[in-house]
Amino acid sequence: MKRLILTSPTGLTLDQLTPEQQAAIQSVFAQYILPMPGTISYNALSILDAVTSDNFNEESIITLQLPFTVMGMWQWEGNADSPLVELQALDSSFINYLPDTTDEDGNPVPPLLHIPNNWAGWPEATL
């Protein structure tokens, strides 16, 4: 299985895509969430967090003219003994999609780069 973190136009739902695009996504996406919990919209884009089958091919995004950009990608065999393999490092611009926090005095604090969501059973991605 592969885990993808992608950008997607804010407000997009997959049913707004063409039937061909929807069929391609349904053939590889096992689970997805849009927007990713713990993230915010930035420059009219939101974060889509997806688990796909191993046959996901990034080139299909371009071929099908899907409005997504891969920001990070990992592969995992699904058992506790298998390592999480980084296929594409998380783009540092991901930090723009993380909300500011506040300190104990209520002052804004810039976020630290982290992935605020994880899929059940999946190991944490190292950044």
Note the pLDDT tens digit of each residue in 79-118. 888 999 999 999 999 999 999 999 999 999 999 999 999 9
This prediction's pTM: 0.92
Q: Locate 119 and state its tokens.
A: 């899929």
Cβ neighbours of residue 57 under 8 Å, at least 6 residues apart?
none
pLDDT recorded at residue 127: 82
Q: Cα separation of 83 and 5, whole Å?
A: 18
Domain boundaries, the chain: 2-109
Sheet with 2-9, side-by-side order of all strands = 29-33, 45-52, 2-9, 69-75, 85-88
Q: Locate 23 and state its tokens.
A: 């069929």
46-57 pLDDT tens trace: 999 999 999 898
5-48 pLDDT tens trace: 999 999 999 899 999 999 999 988 899 999 999 999 999 999 99
Beta bridge partners of residue 7, listed in sequence order: 47, 69
Pairing label, strands 29-33, 45-52: antiparallel
pLDDT recorded at residue 45: 98
Portion of the chain with pLDDT greater than 90, in percent: 83
Q: Where are the alpha helices (DSSP H) in the chain?
A: 19-28, 59-63
